Amino acid sequence: MQNPLNIDKLFEPLELSPQLQLKNRIVMAPLTRSMADDELVPTEAMADYYARRADAGLIISEATLIAQEGQGYPNTPGIYSSQQISQWQKVTQGVHAKGGKIFSQLWHTGKASHSIYHDGEQPMAPSAVAVEGRVPRVKDLYYETPRVMTQEDIDRVIGLYVKAAENALEAGFDGVELHGANGYLIDQFLHWDSNRRDDQYGGNSENMARFLFQVLDAVTAVIPANLVGLRLSPYAYFNLKPDNRDKAVFDYLLPLLNRYGLAYIHTGMFKDRKIDLLECTVTQYIRKHYQGTVIASGGYEVKSAMQTLEQADADLIAIGRPFIANSDYVEKVQQNKPLTPYTEDMLATLY
Ligand SMILES: Cc1cc2nc3c(=O)[nH]c(=O)nc-3n(C[C@H](O)[C@H](O)[C@H](O)COP(=O)(O)O)c2cc1C
């Protein structure tokens, strides 16, 4: 069937870095599936699931724990044990065998966690402010007030990011994405609601961005910066309460990201819409401040993806839920075949 939209732009290749050529502009967004085994090791079924989606220009793995202490959901995979690394090798080999590329999304949930994941100890965070509401995917549990991270904790966690980035390359990933979005640990430092510190990590934009830059400096000291991506959500209030002062933090940090030569910056939004405070969409806001490669995400359909690429608001489009529902998403778009709509009950199975 003739596609009524000119989708050529979605199928143009892109050089993410000299060692990384992407065959199209479609990125599979990171999608937590909670399907790792009880040791948080990726399974064969996960390897098959990712390999089925290798037509994407780039796959970003589900959020992956830099250490068990970063856990906040059941059965999320890690990348800190040798068993996890060797199982991830099966995943990356499967994707590479079908001509795909895959990054590992590195994750620490901070206070979006519960003492059930920490042998009864409180989770930790920049400040002692609990996430409101219930712990997802576990029955009848509410979030707890976290303990405040000490300088020692901060230094140790930076070391965990470095080790996890090295492990990811050992596991055959083409690069890593630091999960700095959606109210998890890095993002908790970047927002006034969750960061009430009065030391060098809080109280003003420069201090609030310090942890992010220390992680970036440490990771890019051991692996090439152009293999490191970063996901940010300047205006996605998942696990956090909004505060108008947050914008100044992102106004400060986004231009400074230009000096790293990163692989990309990736919008972390569920719906990438116009935000009054920013006077544009979050992706347009990132683009305004950041000159490198930008990945848009959040509710994109083929038409809006095309428009975003044509307007040069982003270079790549990440697709989340439609990729859960359609392992052959890329082929269907290319051939103008109807997509299977996403429903939440699909989360129970790795299609
Ligand atoms: C089931 C599910 C799991 C998700 N897991 C992650 C994750 O692990 N890391 C992350 O950064 N975003 C995660 N997200 C957000 C997606 O990456 C994406 O930004 C969001 O779904 C919006 O894109 P879409 O409208 O194309 O689905 C998740 C979303 C869903 C629906």
Question: Could you tell me the domains of the chain?
Answer: 8-348 (3.20.20.70)
Q: Of the listed 184, 201, 264, 329, which one is catalytic?
A: 184
Tell whether the model's pLDDT for residue 2 goes beyond 70: no
pLDDT in tens, 178-233: 999 999 999 999 999 999 999 999 999 999 999 999 999 999 999 999 999 999 99
Measured in Å, residue 28 CA sits from the centre of ligand 1 at: 10
Which residue of 31, 281, 323 sits with most ligand 1 atoms within 8 Å of its CB, as the best mutation to test the pocket? Answer: 31
In angstroms, rounded to a whole number, what is the distance separating the alpha carbons of residues 224 and 232? 20
- DSSP, collapsed to helix, strand or coil, labels residue 337 as coil
The residue with tokens 């979006």 is 112
47-62 pLDDT, tens per residue? 999 999 999 999 999 9
- The answer, yes or no, to whether residue 169 has pLDDT greater than 90, is yes
Distance between CA atoms of 219 and 229, rounded to whole angstroms? 11
Per-residue pLDDT, averaged over 58-84, amounts to 98
Q: What is the DSSP string of 17-38?
A: ETTEEESSSEEEPP-----S-T
Given a cut of 60, whether residue 1 has pLDDT beyond it is no
For the chain, give the mean pLDDT.
Answer: 96
Alpha carbon 43 to chain centroid distance?
Answer: 21
Cα 31 to middle of ligand 1, angstroms: 5
Averaged over 40-48, what is the pLDDT?
Answer: 98
Helices then strands (H, E): number in the chain? 11, 14
pTM of the model: 0.98
The CA–CA distances, whole Å, from 205 to 86, 150, 162 equal 40, 20, 24
The confidence score (pLDDT) of residue 90 equals: 98
Is 184 marked active-site?
yes
Count of Cβ atoms closer than 10 Å to residue 210 Cβ? 18
The helix or strand, by DSSP H or E, that contains position 58, with its residue range, turns out to be strand 58-65
The whole-angstrom separation of Cα 222 and Cα 227 is 11
Q: Is 31 in the pocket of ligand 1 (CB under 6 A)?
A: yes
What is the distance in A from the centroid of ligand 1 to the CA of 30? 6
Pick from 32, 61, 301 the residue to mutate for probing ligand 1's pocket: most ligand atoms within 8 Å of its CB: 32
